[in-house]
Amino acid sequence: MKTLVRGTAAIAGTLFAFVALAVAYSTAKGYTVWFIKIPHAVVTVNGSQATGWLHQANNGNTIFFTRADSSKPETYDLVFAHEGNGRVLSCGEWVASRFPLIAIGDVNPPCFFEGSAGHGLTKGPRSIAFTTNDGARIEAHW
């Protein structure tokens, strides 16, 4: 019985180590980007507080901004360039979860082919704001 337990533990440990190395490698090489939920974010739509949440990429260049003030939540992919300009992309049917950590691989990003969803993206030290294509002004502060 002890041999069986030791063998199972060795196999499980080896598999865990393999998965940990694969995750570390894909993160280090940029194949996987981790999005961390920004705690205590306050979301407003047209000046009124709304339900929503944000996830920021570990490299700081992208934020998933999810607003859940209507019956169907929407997620926007906010991508920032080094010169300060940014793009607001639609994530279509995909909605970022409320989990505190999301891993996105480079093979099939969720918002890549959906197109523009807004303009006037501005980013402060602890805030973000933009206007959607339908004219709604969306802001978040944390």
For the chain, the structural domain boundaries read 1-30, 33-141
Residue 119: predicted pLDDT: 94
Low-confidence ranges of the chain (pLDDT < 50): none
Residue 81: predicted pLDDT: 79
Q: Are 91 and 75 in contact (CB under 8 A)?
A: yes
User: Any residues with CB less than 8 A from the CB of 130 and at least 6 apart, and which?
Assistant: 76, 78, 88, 118, 119, 120, 121, 122, 137, 138
Residue 135: predicted pLDDT: 95
Residue 74: predicted pLDDT: 94
Rounded CA-CA distance 135/141 in Å is: 20
Rounded CA-CA distance 72/68 in Å is: 7
